[in-house]
Amino acid sequence: MSYLFTSESVSEGHPDKIADQISDALLDSFLAFDKTSKVACETLVTTGQVVLAGEVRSNTYLDVQQIARDVINDIGYTKGEYQFSGDSCGVISLIHEQSQDIYQGVDKTSKEEQGAGDQGMMFGYATKETENYMPLALDISHKLLIELAKLRREGDDIKYLRPDAKAQVTIEYSDDNVPQRIDTIVISTQHDDFDEDETMLKKIADDIKSILIPRVKALFDEDTQALFDDDITYHINPTGKFVIGGPHGDAGLTGRKIIVDTYGGKGAHGGGAFSGKDPSKVDRSAAYAARHIAKNMVAAGIADEVLVQVSYAIGVSEPTSILVNTTNKHIDMSDGEIAKKIRQIFDMRPGMIEERLKLRNPIYRETAAYGHMGKEPRLETKIYRSDYSGEVRHEVELFTWEKLDYVDQLKEAFNL
């Protein structure tokens, strides 16, 4: 009996994602001017207002209000009719210094001794069902919204789009967990006002099917393209009119889209959000490291699907546990035996994760929309300017946890 599985994504203009991007832009700016910064920034956005809160310990001073405004404008909230604009919104900063009680447990003289920034468990997941080792339903959902945002910015083929949008994709799987077809695609996109609602709904539906879907389909390999058949059920702006959106339509908060950020409901999630947290917070760094392990394991041919769990005690460097759960493995070892070997290969102490994945760099704004996992690693030059600290330039490597740099070592270790 076949079954259905669904994942969703949200656009960069979704209220919660605006909050995530502001939090990560603040983090990047602190790290750009002081790599040792300890940051935990939370953001709230609502009609005409932005509230920044959290804890920071840093040797630099930033104009956090201007950073927030720049992010909002970059996303596309630049018009008065949106009821939320980077140039006109109020920005309130309630950021204060990090607790000394936490700082003394995390900050150590050496990277090896650095303690975890909190207790908790984190998960990493990978599957061979897509080229980027991500669940297919989530991968399609992300790409739908990435291309929709490109169409909005281009303004040539579709001229009425506004920044807020959501997508959802349902895949039909066979009993042996192989994708058979796309069953349903749901897209809700904010738009300019139309004179007639019926005309509006037809225009949006036609444009999504004839312009957006072919662009997204072309991004995939032939096997995945074949899943886009003529029997897909489309729900496009199913509630009808979607003019009021963004923070004017709903309040947004940092960390409310953790499933969108990770694996779309596949695998598991420890519950900790990512955005606004420096890498001493294992909610973020250990989740990246666990994805790095899982992806390299699948790419090495150890199993078709891998879930990795790691857990920590606050202030303690060594993990309290590492679990590996495999599906359709291709080696004659138990998951417990595999986990022991993985622990020997990957140093999961927080300081060593930071060093291995180069996490003390301003690399986080790019993670804060369309998923933290599944993107291509790349080099980028970033320039940061501050009235207080001048200008700095950083050559950074983005998405280091997506690199397949341990495949050969894993093949050797597991005799593959």
SS3 56: strand
User: Residues 38, 57, 143, 256: which is the catalytic one?
Assistant: 256
Sign of the CA dihedral running 102, 107, 112, 117: positive
Total residue length of the chain: 416
Establish whether 256 is an annotated binding residue.
Answer: yes
Report in angstroms the alpha-carbon separations of 64 from 29, 53, 61, 307, 368. 9, 11, 9, 38, 17
SS3 17: helix
Report in angstroms the alpha-carbon separations of 8 from 79, 116, 144. 28, 31, 10
Establish whether 16 is an annotated binding residue.
Answer: yes
Residue 300 annotated among the catalytic residues of the structure: no
Report in angstroms the alpha-carbon separations of 395 from 32, 288, 378, 392, 404. 11, 20, 11, 10, 21
User: Residues 250, 304, 347, 397: which is the catalytic one?
Assistant: 250
Establish whether 165 is an annotated binding residue.
Answer: yes
Sign of the CA dihedral running 197, 201, 202, 203: positive
Residue 366 annotated among the catalytic residues of the structure: no
Establish whether 223 is an annotated binding residue.
Answer: no
Residue 235 annotated among the catalytic residues of the structure: no
Q: Which two tokens stand for residue 224?
A: 């995945």
Establish whether 281 is an annotated binding residue.
Answer: yes
Residue 281 annotated among the catalytic residues of the structure: yes
- CA dist., res. 407 & res. 409, Å (int): 6
Which candidate, 30, 53, 70, places its Cα nearest to that of 279?
A: 30
User: Residues 277, 284, 360, 365: which is the catalytic one?
Assistant: 277
Residue 16 CA, distance from chain mean position: 12
SS3 362: coil
Residue 14 annotated among the catalytic residues of the structure: yes
Residue 250 annotated among the catalytic residues of the structure: yes
- CA dist., res. 101 & res. 275, Å (int): 22
Establish whether 98 is an annotated binding residue.
Answer: yes
User: Residues 5, 8, 17, 38: which is the catalytic one?
Assistant: 17
Residue 191 annotated among the catalytic residues of the structure: no
Establish whether 42 is an annotated binding residue.
Answer: yes
The β-bridge partners of 308 are: 124, 324
Residue 256 annotated among the catalytic residues of the structure: yes
Amino acid letter at 166?
Answer: K
Q: At what angle do helices 64-75 and 15-33 cross, to 10 degrees?
A: 130
- CA dist., res. 248 & res. 235, Å (int): 24
User: Residues 5, 8, 14, 220: which is the catalytic one?
Assistant: 14
Establish whether 299 is an annotated binding residue.
Answer: no
User: Residues 38, 69, 142, 166: which is the catalytic one?
Assistant: 166
Q: What is the CA radius of gyration of the chain?
A: 22
Dihedral in degrees, nearest 10, Cα atoms 337, 338, 339, 345: 120
User: Residues 251, 268, 299, 413: which is the catalytic one?
Assistant: 251
Residue 195 annotated among the catalytic residues of the structure: no
Residue 159 annotated among the catalytic residues of the structure: no
Q: What is the DSSP letter of 20?
A: H
Establish whether 111 is an annotated binding residue.
Answer: no
User: Residues 242, 274, 346, 414: which is the catalytic one?
Assistant: 242
Establish whether 175 is an annotated binding residue.
Answer: no
- CA dist., res. 262 & res. 242, Å (int): 27
Establish whether 329 is an annotated binding residue.
Answer: no
User: Residues 5, 8, 12, 16: which is the catalytic one?
Assistant: 16
Report in angstroms the alpha-carbon separations of 212 from 143, 144, 175, 223, 369. 10, 7, 31, 19, 19
User: Residues 34, 118, 283, 366: which is the catalytic one?
Assistant: 283
Residues annotated as part of the active site? 14, 16-17, 42, 55, 166, 242, 250-251, 256-257, 277, 281, 283
Annotated binding site for Mg(2+): 16
Annotated binding site: 14, 16, 42, 55, 98, 164-166, 241-242, 250, 256-257, 273, 277, 281
Annotated binding site for K(+): 42
Annotated binding site for L-methionine: 55, 98, 250, 281
Annotated binding site for ATP: 14, 164-166, 241-242, 250, 256-257, 273, 277
